[in-house]
């Protein structure tokens, strides 16, 4: 009997490590036992039919970067080489960084929309006859536009503190820059007697126009981003065509000197091209909106 190849041992070990990494925190996320009428209620375990699907969805959404390891494992087994597995392991932190940047960008956009909604609600409460402090409290509670700094701002408004200072502190959060304008309107209305509602109304219009411009630029750049993704997938299409024609492209790329040289040079050129194209798109968005993606 032929002894198993070292590549297979490495692939199996890496798969086990990936499975443990995906499930090491599953026990901490399970619900605690609840007592209801003296009867214990235990939620369905994650491995049962009722709990497996939600558990898998939650874990995959939370640790999507770990999917690089199964992909590298599959290519390592098919190509009988440990190089794809090493590449998959090296891609985990890079993919995690990219996913984190995307998540932060989405949270920043949601935060900006919440600030615009807060300004509109604030104006509505003022024009309904409420005092500025009470209008601020009502608008913040109904919209949540103050984010993590809501407690300090509401405390300053309720007990006569420095509301503009707290608003400026809240404006330091990503996407909450509009709160600095709210602080300026509050300060001007207190010091100069100018109507707070009129200033907030103009601020809301300006923030909404900026948001609409950013959304318009993002929509126009969607085609360029799709083109970048399509070009990045062309090598995969080439490998699939090679398999369809009966060739073995992985064997050539991973087990021959010429193939390894082509793999290294092609990977470097692919990475450089994608980064260059993404930088062009990012600079175009910054030039039109003044902020990155």
> Is residue 201 included in any domain, yes or no?
yes
Tell me if 181 sits within 8 A of 122, measured CB to CB: no
Expressed as residue numbers, the domain containing 188 is 111-205
Check residue 61 and give its pLDDT: 59
> Is residue 141 included in any domain, yes or no?
yes
Q: Spell out the per-residue pLDDT of the chain, length 293, in tens.
A: 444 454 554 554 555 554 444 444 444 444 343 333 444 445 555 455 555 556 555 555 567 888 888 888 888 888 888 888 888 888 888 888 888 888 888 888 889 999 999 999 999 998 888 888 888 888 888 887 777 778 888 888 888 888 889 999 888 888 888 999 999 998 888 765 568 888 899 999 999 998 998 888 888 888 888 888 888 888 888 888 888 888 888 888 888 999 899 989 988 998 888 888 888 888 877 766 655 54
Check residue 60 and give its pLDDT: 58
Closest C-alpha among 165, 129, 113 to residue 155: 165
39 sits in which H/E element: strand 39-41
Q: What is the DSSP letter of 40?
A: E
> Is residue 16 included in any domain, yes or no?
no
Check residue 243 and give its pLDDT: 84
Check residue 94 and give its pLDDT: 87
> Is residue 148 included in any domain, yes or no?
yes
> Is residue 130 included in any domain, yes or no?
yes
Closest C-alpha among 224, 215, 230 to residue 270: 230
Question: Looking at the 3D structure of the chain, how many domains does it have?
Answer: 1
CA dist 156 → 9, 240, 242 (Å)? 62, 63, 67
> Is residue 186 included in any domain, yes or no?
yes
What would you measure as the largest C-alpha separation in the chain, in angstroms? Answer: 92
Check residue 95 and give its pLDDT: 87
> Is residue 140 included in any domain, yes or no?
yes
Number of helices (H) and strands (E) in the chain: give both, helices first.
12, 2
Check residue 161 and give its pLDDT: 85
Total-model pTM: 0.68
Check residue 208 and give its pLDDT: 92
> Is residue 121 included in any domain, yes or no?
yes
Check residue 205 and give its pLDDT: 92
């Amino acid at each position: 009997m032929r002894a198993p190849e070292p590549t297979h041992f490495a692939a199996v070990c890496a798969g086990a490590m990936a499975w443990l990494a995906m499930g090491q925190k599953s026990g901490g996320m399970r619900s605690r036992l609840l007592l209801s009428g003296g009867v214990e209620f235990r939620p369905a375990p994650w491995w049962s039919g009722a709990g497996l699907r939600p558990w898998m969805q939650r874990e995959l959404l939370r640790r999507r970067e770990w999917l690089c390891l199964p992909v590298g494992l599959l290519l390592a087994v098919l190509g009988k080489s440990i190089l794809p597995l090493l590449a998959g392991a090296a891609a985990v932190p890079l993919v995690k960084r990219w996913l984190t940047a995307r998540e932060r960008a989405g949270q920043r956009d949601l935060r900006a929309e919440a600030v615009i909604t807060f300004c509109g609600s604030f104006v509505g409460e003022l024009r309904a006859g409420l005092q500025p402090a009470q209008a601020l409290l009502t608008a913040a509670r109904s919209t949540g536009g103050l984010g993590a700094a809501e407690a300090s701002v509401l405390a300053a408004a309720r007990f006569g503190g420095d509301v503009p200072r707290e608003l400026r502190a809240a404006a330091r959060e990503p996407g909450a820059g509009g709160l600095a304008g709210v602080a300026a309107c509050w300060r001007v209305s207190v010091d100069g007697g100018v109507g707070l509602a009129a200033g907030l109304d103009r601020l809301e219009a300006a923030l909404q126009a900026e948001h609409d411009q950013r959304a318009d630029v993002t929509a126009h750049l969607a085609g360029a981003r799709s083109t970048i993704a399509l070009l990045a997938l062309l090598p995969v299409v080439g490998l699939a065509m090679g398999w369809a024609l009966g060739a073995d492209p992985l064997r050539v790329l991973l087990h021959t000197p010429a193939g390894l040289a082509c793999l290294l040079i092609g990977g470097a050129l692919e990475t450089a091209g994608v980064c260059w194209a993404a930088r062009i798109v990012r600079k175009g968005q910054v030039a039109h909106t003044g902020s990155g993606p």
